[in-house]
Amino acid sequence: MRYVTTWERRWLKEGIQQGRQQGLQQGVQQGLQLGILQKSRDNITDILEIRFEHVPKMLVQKLQSIDNTLLLPKLLRQAVLVGSLKEFEQLIEKSV
């Protein structure tokens, strides 16, 4: 087995720490992104429930499957403006 110098150990340790830090940052970023998506979906569902009382489970499931960060804000606005749940569902069908 080859001798590992103090410098090599230090570089290895720094490399491991840097890798952990990058992994942690990526994990936090991904978690934030997922949280934002879920909050957007929940807000849309809340608006639809306030406006139309009952939101069919199938519509909620369709909404939960959307992960487009550009589409969800548009759907949020439409949830406020549409005349019916059927109209909103048609918007989702066209958009997805």
pLDDT of residue 52: 96
Q: Is 89 part of any domain?
A: yes
Q: Is 84 part of any domain?
A: yes
Q: Is 65 part of any domain?
A: yes
Q: Is 72 part of any domain?
A: yes
- Domain that residue 83 falls in: 6-95
74 contacts 44 by C-beta, under 8 angstroms:
no
The model's pLDDT over 74-92, given as tens digits with 9 standing for 90+, comes to 999 999 999 999 999 999 9
Q: Is 1 part of any domain?
A: no
* CA 63/CA 78 separation, integer angstroms: 13
Instruction: From first to last of the 96 residues of the chain, give the pLDDT tens digit.
Output: 677 678 777 887 888 888 888 888 888 888 899 999 999 999 999 999 999 999 999 999 999 999 999 999 999 999 999 999 999 999 999 987
4 contacts 36 by C-beta, under 8 angstroms:
no
* Those residues with Cβ within 8 angstroms of residue 41's Cβ, 6 or more apart along the chain or in another chain: 63, 64, 66, 72
Number of domains composing the chain? 1
How far apart, in Å, are the Cα atoms of 44 and each of 12, 13, 49, 84? 48, 47, 9, 14
